[in-house]
Amino acid sequence: MLRRLGVLCGLLVLPTAVLAYADLLPESLDLLGIDLRESPDLPHVARQIAIGAPLKIVAFGSSSTEGIGASSPANAYPARLQIDLRKKLRGMDVAVINRGIGGEHVDDMLARLDRDVIKAEPQLVIWQTGSNDPLRGVTVAHFREVTVAAIRRIREAGIDVVLMEPQWCPKLEATPGASRFLEAVRGIGEELDVPVIRRADLMHGWVREGKLTAKQLFASDGLHMADGGYALLAEAAARSILEDAGSVQTPEAVAE
């Protein structure tokens, strides 16, 4: 017992050792709210949560990351995600940086990957992608090749990755080949062991479960989500991040 207590004290002083010495700790470490015997899909996020260090996330993507359709930037999903994670992590220092630019496809985002993602030195990037590519004539093969290469670059920089698939909306459903990009995002996630936020499934579920009507879900353009949809997306993303960080015990939300 004394040996294990000594190891625990050392881990709190040396952040980089948290995951490396997990085998010396009890199987359930309620003090840190995380089971370190599991191998988390988001190890860098897990480490920050385990030691209570600041967590920086870059939300990378196109218009639905930027927040087109929301009534204000504060109602875009990245801003709502920051609030949700701070509540779930008892006010821990969480910053979600919005790096969404409307209309971009995979090559546009690749061109600013270093500047807008890697240079920011986050622990996590949530990459929303695959929506504009079918609208702008990008081939699925090219999309896959560029996306896989970019994910590897992000990981080599010591950053965890979560993918967010294209949204469900009538305009995309009517675009030939659009569903292949959704399938490509899911396939890349399986191939590289990258968690995927299945946004299309979530949106269908919200309507089916009566959380929002289809009219409430979409903004007036019929393409982007409105405030209610962005709020639910942020909740789902927060839940996914904490689960993928390794069975984090999320306490009752506290007022911010």
Reported as a single tens digit per residue, the pLDDT across 110-167 is 999 999 999 999 999 999 999 999 988 999 999 999 999 999 999 999 999 999 999 9
Within 8 A by CB and 6+ apart from 118, the residues are 153, 154, 157, 159
Among the listed ranges 20-29, 79-88, 225-234, which one has the minimum average pLDDT value?
20-29
* Count of domains observed in the chain: 2
- Residue 31, classified by CB atoms within 10 Å of its CB into exposed (0-12), middle (13-18) or buried (19+), is exposed
Within 8 A by CB and 6+ apart from 123, the residues are 44, 45, 47, 48, 55, 56, 57, 159, 160
CATH number for the domain spanning 170: value is 3.40.50.1110
25 and 129 fall within a common domain: no
182 and 129 fall within a common domain: yes
126 and 143 fall within a common domain: yes
185 and 206 fall within a common domain: yes
Q: Whole domain around residue 4: which residue ranges?
A: 1-37
Residue showing tokens 């009517």: 174
20 and 143 fall within a common domain: no
Q: Is the pLDDT of residue 5 over 80?
A: no
91 and 193 fall within a common domain: yes
Alpha helices in 14-139 (DSSP H): 43-51, 63-66, 77-88, 106-111, 113-116
186 and 94 fall within a common domain: yes
CA distances from 194 to 4, 40, 155, 216 (A): 33, 11, 10, 31
23 and 139 fall within a common domain: no
Mean pLDDT of 235-244: 96
What is residue 91's three-state secondary structure?
coil
- Give residue-wise pLDDT tens across range 74-112: 999 999 999 999 999 998 999 999 999 999 999 999 999
Q: Percent of the chain beyond pLDDT 90?
A: 71
- Inter-residue contact 95 to 20 (CB < 8 Å): no
> How does residue 38 score in pLDDT terms, banded at 50, 70 and 90?
low
* pLDDT score, position 233: 97
Q: Is the pLDDT of residue 239 over 90?
A: yes
> Cα dihedral sign for 146, 149, 153, 159?
positive
98: DSSP letter: E
123 and 210 fall within a common domain: yes
The pTM of the full predicted model, rounded to 2 decimals, is: 0.81
51 and 29 fall within a common domain: no
